[in-house]
Amino acid sequence: MGDPNSRKKQALNRLRSQLRKKKESLADQFDFKMYVAFVFKDKKKKSALFEVADVIPVMTNNYEENILKGVRDSSYSLESSLELLQKDVVQLHAPRYQSMRRDVIGCTQEMDFILWPRNDIEKIVCLLFSRWKGSDEPFRPVLAKFEFHHGDYEKHLLHVLSRKDKTGIVLNNPSQSVFLFIDRQHLQTPKSKATIFKLCSICLYLPQEQLTHWAVGTVEDHLRPYMPE
C-alpha cells in the first residue's frame, strides 16, 4: 500500500477527473465563509470587520478581460498575469457584506468602502474558511494568506488617477492572491472637484490544490484579533 499522502493525491486526481467530465470544479464541493478586515495604522483603533454575505466560487476565468485590462494600463506585467490565468485557480468573489459591530444592526449591503484619499488604513485582510458541502463539521481556516497593504494599492490608484476610467478598475496585491474592484467617484465641493476611489467587490485567487489545505484553530480564533468591541 502507498503512503497516506500518495493515496490522498490519487483520490483527489480521480475526483478532479470526474469533475472535469461533469464540467464542475472541486470548488463546487465546498461551502465557504469569508471575512474582510480593514486594519488601521493606529493600533488603538479596532479593525473594521465585515462578514461576506455570499462567497461565489468561479473556475472559468470570468474576470480575464478585467485582469488583462490591468496589463494594458501597466498596472502589472503581462507575464505574471498569463502565469496566473493559466493556473488551475479558484476565484472567490465577494460583492456584498455586513458589519460585525455589535452596536450596528446587521444588514447586508453592497460592498462600499472608501479606500482613497485616506492614510489611516494599514492593510486589508481577507480570512477564508471552508468545509465540505453538506457537512455538519465546523468551518476550518484555509491555509492561505490574503493581504493587501495600503502602500501597494495606493501606488495603483495614483497611477490610474490621471486616467478617465470610471469603472472597471482592478487592482492586485504583489502575490496576486487578492483583486480589488474599484469604482471612481467625484465629489463636487464649493471650490473644487475631489476624486475618491471606493471598493465595490473583492476577488480572492486560490490554487485549486489548496482547497484541501486547512490551518488549525476555529473561526473565532482567527477573527479574534480583528473583532470590534
pLDDT digits (tens, 9 = 90+) for 73-93: 555 555 555 555 555 788 899
What pLDDT is recorded for position 78? Answer: 56
Weakest mean pLDDT among 29-38, 82-91, 207-216: 82-91
- Residues in Cβ contact with 29 at an 8 Å cutoff, skipping those fewer than 6 apart: 15, 19, 132, 133
Does the model's pTM come out above 0.85? no
Weakest mean pLDDT among 17-21, 135-139, 202-206: 17-21
Beta strands (DSSP E) in 21-139 are 30-40, 48-52, 56-58, 89-94, 96-99, 109-110, 113-116, 121-132
Label residue 80 left, alpha or beta by phi (over 0 means left) and psi (-120 to 50 means alpha).
Answer: alpha
Q: How confident is the model at residue 199 (pLDDT cuts 50, 70, 90)?
A: very high
Between residues 33 and 187, the one the model is more confident about: 33
Please determine, for residue 62, whether its predicted confidence score (pLDDT) is greater than 50: no
What pLDDT is recorded for position 22? Answer: 52
Please give the Cα distance from 143 to 96 (Å, whole number). 23
**Mean residue pLDDT across the chain:** 81
Please determine, for residue 7, whether its predicted confidence score (pLDDT) is greater than 80: no
pLDDT digits (tens, 9 = 90+) for 89-147: 888 999 999 888 766 666 788 898 999 889 999 999 999 999 998 888 999 999 999 99
Q: Answer for the pair 130, 85: CB distance below 8 angstroms, yes or no.
A: no
What pLDDT is recorded for position 71? Answer: 52
Between residues 188 and 63, the one the model is more confident about: 188
